[in-house]
Chains A and B, each alone.
Chain A
Amino acid sequence: MGALDNDTALEVREGVDRETIETVQAMAGKYKYGWETDIEMEFAPKGLNEDIVRLISEKNGEPDWMLEWRLAAYRRWVKMEEPRWAMLNYPEIDYQDQYYYAKPKSMTKKPKSLDEVDPKLLATYEKLGIPLKEQMLLAGVEGSDEPRKVAVDAVFDSVSVGTTFKEELKKAGVIFCSISEAVRDYPELVKKYLGSVVPQSDNFFATLNSAVFSDGSFVYVPEGVRCPMELSTYFRINAENTGQFERTLIIADKGAYVSYLEGCTAPKRDTNQLHAAVVEIVILDDAEVKYSTVQNWYPGDEEGRGGIYNFVTKRADCRGPRSKVMWTQVETGSAITWKYPSCILRGDDSQGEFYSIAIANNAQQADTGTKMVHLGKRTKSRIVSKGISAGRAQNTYRGLVSMHPKATDSRNYTQCDSLLIGDRCGAHTVPYIEVKNNSSRVEHEATTSKVDDDQLFYCRSRGMDEEEAVALVVNGFCKEVLQALPMEFAMEAQSLVAISLEGSVG
């Protein structure tokens, strides 16, 4: 029994699970973030045309080159067609019936520090559990190490309302600010890297985003710097009929390291809302980026009314040799999810990893996966995807693994597991594999299983109620992915997994 005595890892897992169950019980089946903030907003007129693009650019105080970049994207976008190849079924989106810019009035004059931010906005984030004060975040687990700091950039509808720990990060040389500030303050960096991973012409939604993105986060970690804390962005859609188009640009210079977290919520509404974000990550020689997302946009009600349409383009370019990227995503929200965080493994010996949990309950539809594009020699990628379907939901894994002729001696391992709860949902796996050299190896494993009545009975006969039992079994199914998340997020994700499956059995 010796090993048990000093086994703290075990205790940590324990704490995590108890947390899940307490949270589930406390929340009793409701989307926790469905309230809205009553705050005066300034909107641009509904619809999209060149004037709206000009207005967004002007509101952000952008230089001419940025406006030209946006207009070029807009002109391209009007000639493009919305892609319909995904296994998603939704009514035609009227792009002229959306607001493309919404900003709290109190933000008209940009606050100089967090002390000047509208208390209503601060209260919103507090209610969401996101501290916008520069306080220590306790990891929240017994026996875990030092209190950890997490710097937050909070984006409310179209604008960033504040970024914490900016000064402390600056001392380390790390730039962490809203992208609108970066356009003004670091134009050289933005000019060099914006659109270099996801070009304006990439796809319908990315092009739309390039034209109308209003804010988002910007990160630059200079050569050789290990970012001293976790960075995070918290996105909140509040205003009605408002699209959110944020743009995130992360640059890890040679030998740098950063771990970045992204969280999202929105109020409950009967109408659908559009979210089309772009995330670009540039990773130079020997640098490493971890990007974790807990996506909890409002999923719509049980009948499928309302919810966010989430069309997101995320891509990391491992530009330098030995660079590394790890995407981890927990997708529990949104009515529609269309999202394929990808890795371009350009540098020799670069590595890409993708860990995903996608949960679709009730009438939710998810078509999500990744692309691993191997260009450099001896590049490695690993995909672990866990799809969970319940209710009438449809969940599709769509993934591309591509080994180019020069990507010799490269490896990919893909594991795709689907779990079905009930008998009205669906799980689909659509792998695309292209290998154009003889020395690379691609492995693909896929399983589909059902939550087993015997497992549930076993748990219940030991005293757990049905929802606790489902949460336990599903969290077990997702374990490999949950382990890839930073600890604070792992706990949130575990509770989310449980909450989003409430009412899925019985």
Chain B
Amino acid sequence: MLEINNLHVKLEEDDKVILKGVNLTVEAGKVHAIMGPNGSGKSTLSYVLAGRDGYSVTDGSATLDGAELLEMEPEERAAAGLFLAFQYPVEIPGVGNMTFLRTAVNAQRKARGEDELSAGEFLKIVREKAKALKIDAEMMKRPVNVGFSGGEKKRNEILQMAMLEPKMCILDETDSGLDVDAMKLVADGVNALRDAGRAFLVITHYQRLLDHIRPDVVHIMADGRIVKTGGPELALEVENNGYADILAEVM
């Protein structure tokens, strides 16, 4: 589903090279995890895939079902089925959470040539999905992410994901700032979306999220590359021994 080949990326502002040849293939129906120390390029990878400004791709490619992502605008990538759950969801004062969500859903439907959802249809679906994530009506009325707690922000990201029904979901440190209960809620939300046609790329520092969202494949990223790939046991190894041993072994 997602194919990343030899991806090289530098920062536009100071030419600092962040990604130095990332290769990664994520198949439909699978959950891949990327772990790695701070500064290894994990978040950059997720931003570059979603199309954030400020990065320049100097080499390589990234395709979603064969279509080149790197040539698309961010909204085209979204309509093509890519979703990034932000590490730091952005606040938009004055814009109701419900309004935001409905605008997003209908923008994507329109881009794909589908009919927009009516207010009634939309509300029915939101209610059901919000309930599973323990998001109440009050939270849907509040402005997007304004005054939300860390847990509310992350649950809100998962609600957006559930509503937009992307094919390829990237979760950027979705566990950061969550207590155990909140993490369980978020993980349940993600697990409920797992199916044969959808893939996940879960970026995290810690094994603990992977106790709840069981990955099929675990990658270790360091210094702008994927340096090691293995099964779920690789995450446990990191948890027990830290990154030092693995890095010493591969670099």
A residues in contact (CB < 8 Å) with B: 1-5, 7, 10-11, 13-15, 17-18, 21, 142-143, 452-455, 457-466, 468, 472-473, 475-480
Contact = CB atoms under 8 A, between A and B. Distances in A.
B138 interface: yes
Interface in B15-56: 50-53
A476 B119 contact: no
Interface residues of B, number: 50
Given A458-B89, A463-B107, A3 B75 contact: no
Given A18-B116, A477-B93, A3 B136 contact: yes
Contacts of B194: none
Contacts of B120: 142
Contacts of A472: 92, 95, 99-100, 103
Contacts of A468: 103, 107
Interface in B102-144: 102-108, 111, 116, 118-120, 122-123, 126-127, 130-131, 136-138, 140-141, 143
Contacts, number: 129
13 contacts: A11-B123, A14-B119, A18-B116, A142-B120, A455-B92, A457-B74, A457-B90, A461-B75, A461-B84, A463-B79, A464-B103, A468-B103, A476-B92
B94 interface: yes
B136 A464 contact: no
- Interface core residue of A3, A452, A465 (most chain B CB under 10 Å): A465
A463 B77 CA distance: 8
B138 A3 contact: yes
A476 B94 contact: yes
Nearest to B106: A18
B211 interface: no
A460 B119 CA distance: 22
Chain B interface SS verdict (over half):
helix
Interface string B71-88: 001110111000110100
Given A11-B123, A14-B102, A464-B104, A4 B140 contact: yes
Interface in B152-169: 160, 164
A244 B86 CA distance: 53
A490 to B, nearest CB: 13
Nearest to A479: B94
B92 A463 contact: no
Contacts of B94: 475-480
Most buried by B among A14, A455, A461, A472: A461
A480 to B, nearest CB: 8
A150 B103 CA distance: 30
A189 B78 CA distance: 62
B74 A461 contact: yes
B98 interface: yes
